[in-house]
Amino acid sequence: MFPCRFLSTWVIWLYATTVYIEGLGNQPTRNFRCPLIPKWTHLLESIDSNSGLVQGGAFEAAKLGLRDSLAAALDPLAEAFNCSIGIAAAYRVLAIAYAAGGEVLEATDKHGYRRAHQVSLRMMHVGMNWLTHAFVVKGKNDGYWVDESDWPITIQQMNDEQTAIQNAILKAGPHGHSPSWEDVPKDYRDNNISIAIVTMCDYPKDHVLPKYSMSNKDLYSKRHGYRVLAEHKRDDPSRPHAWAKISLMLKHVQQRTADWLLWFDCDTYFMDLSRTLESILYKFGSKVSSDGRRVLNDDFHMLIQEDHAMLNTGVFFVRSSEWAAKMLAQVYGPSDSPWIHHPWWENAAFSHWFLGSNYQKLAEENHSEFMNQAVSDMDGIYPEEVVVAPQVDFNSYHPITSRIFQHDTWEPGRQPATPVSESGLCCRQIRACFFGCATGFFAHSRERSVRQLLSDNVPD
């Protein structure tokens, strides 16, 4: 048994879960939530036994056991959605195995400690996607369907444990990649690369959001000379709207419309109109060349960000490259892709493509030995072409969403903000107020149309 001081909250809870599952005996109750076939009853038994290994400090054995169980449960992938709550529970225990093992290293190996938690956090992100499917699709948005199941998982536990893991990482740096040029000027320009902004605003004709959105994007792009590539109808009506971003980005990557493309959701605003897109790219993906110039890394093809819960693809950069074209095509997938109707649509598909094999790839990693050779504690978690920036640098949220899941909240000087995408008077007013902040309110707007939008939609 490992020392009591390492018994964090989640490991203590695992003990209680083991006692509960053992009390069920060999017969799953009516709250099993999955087909009563050996594939899923064996998964529950594996989670139980590997939880016991984590409690006893046998973290490496638990990782290997859960690796093998997940490999069986995820084959074939489409069938795994029949027991998404079980997959989520397995990922949760696996994440705890990494985090608890990392805690043991804290006093002697800070780098190994961070590495363990970086891996753990992404296991949580994958698990959260499976849990979201279970909650929304299987449970019909009923939290009790998840919380009162036979599986060792609740929604609140996942949120609390993910917060604890993030806080452990943040004690000594960001929970993504470290900047390559921390103090890049916010108005930095590189006239040798072209950048285009891609968006889709497929809303009813009388909806005010596209007016706000396109006015904001036009103001920003005209200021810096970027192209805006906007469409208003998705090319494949058989898929939910969110998938249009993948097909649109793939089209422009294949056509080499610009050197770099920024996807920007319709409900997202540029809040700091003076900050350039180059400054963000160079902050995270640049190096000093042999002649002393700043250049973008050759192997840098994508810049993304994660919010408090998971990867968020509401805003992301891709280079027009063969790697990006292949990645986007595979994320989009065939017409029968099991991700098409996932509640997080393409977001979950991206996460699976980036992180879905880590349970196998990283199972035997010795974190201390790995960090002796690694450049970054993020190496090998995402593909090497992908850089993860903090949410604060792009795509912070309005306060309401931020407080629900402790996401980064927009403040003046941050870029950009996602106000809110739901309907109703309150949401319309939030969008209008954030739009006003972005354009400098009434007095500072150079466009009469901007002033009119605000005066029409913000109450006195």
pLDDT at 449: 46
CB 103 within 8 A of CB 113: yes
226 and 146, same structural domain? no
CATH of the domain at 415: 3.90.550.10
- Within this chain, do residues 118 and 247 fall inside the same structural domain, yes or no? no
Transcribe 91-160 into DSSP letters: HHHHHHHHHHHHHHHTTT-HHHHHHHHHHHHHHHHHHHHHHHHIIIIISTT-HHHHHTSSSS--HHHHHH
65 and 213, same domain (yes or no): no
Same structural domain, 237 and 132:
no
Please give the pLDDT value at position 401.
53
Per-residue model confidence (pLDDT) at position 394? 79
Same domain, residue pair 403 and 303: yes
Residue 130 structural domain: 4-170
Distance CA 118, CA 116 (A): 6
Instruction: Tell me if 269 is assigned to some domain.
Output: yes
Q: Is 395 left (phi over 0), alpha (psi -120 to 50) or beta?
A: left
Q: Which portions of the chain are predicted below pLDDT 50?
A: 1-6, 19, 402, 406-411, 414-415, 417, 419-427, 429-431, 441-455, 457-460
The pLDDT value recorded for residue 11 is: 61
Task: Specify the DSSP class assigned to residue 452.
Answer: H
Distances in whole angstroms, Cα of residue 414 to Cα of each of 181, 280, 411, 419: 17, 11, 6, 13
Whether 64 and 49 have beta carbons less than 8 Å apart is answered as: no
Examine the domain organization and report whether 290 and 410 are in the same domain.
yes
CA distance to 10, 383, 457, per residue, from 60 (Å): 17, 24, 57
